[in-house]
């Protein structure tokens, strides 16, 4: 019997936690997405993305530390 292998789902580096939705025409994933290229090649946009990711991570960590209510 042969097992089917599933391919990993590509994650969007611009929208953390979301799968790549191929929102840019002609893109086959994050590796050739024009939006990802623009954000990652612009120092200001890349810095803002880093800030947003850090904030989201801190929020998730804080929520994990808080006890469940009731």
| Structure confidence by residue, pLDDT tens digits, 8-61 | 788 888 887 888 888 888 888 888 999 999 999 999 999 999 999 999 899 989
1 within some domain? no
Range of the domain at 53: 30-60
Containing 65, the helix (H) or strand (E) segment is helix 43-65
44 within some domain? yes
6 within some domain? no
Asked if 43 and 8 touch (Cβ cutoff 8 Å), the reply is: no
Asked if 29 and 23 touch (Cβ cutoff 8 Å), the reply is: no
pTM over 0.85: no
In whole angstroms, give the CA distance from residue 56 to residue 14: 13
Asked if 14 and 24 touch (Cβ cutoff 8 Å), the reply is: no
Domain count, the chain: 1
3 within some domain? no
């Amino acid at each position: 019997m042969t097992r089917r292998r599933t391919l990993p789902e590509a994650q969007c580096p611009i929208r953390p936690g979301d799968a790549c939705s191929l929102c840019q025409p002609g893109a086959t994933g994050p590796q050739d997405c024009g939006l990802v290229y623009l954000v990652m090649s612009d120092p200001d946009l890349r810095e803002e993305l880093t800030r947003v990711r850090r904030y989201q991570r801190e929020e998730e960590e804080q929520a994990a530390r808080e006890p469940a209510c009731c």
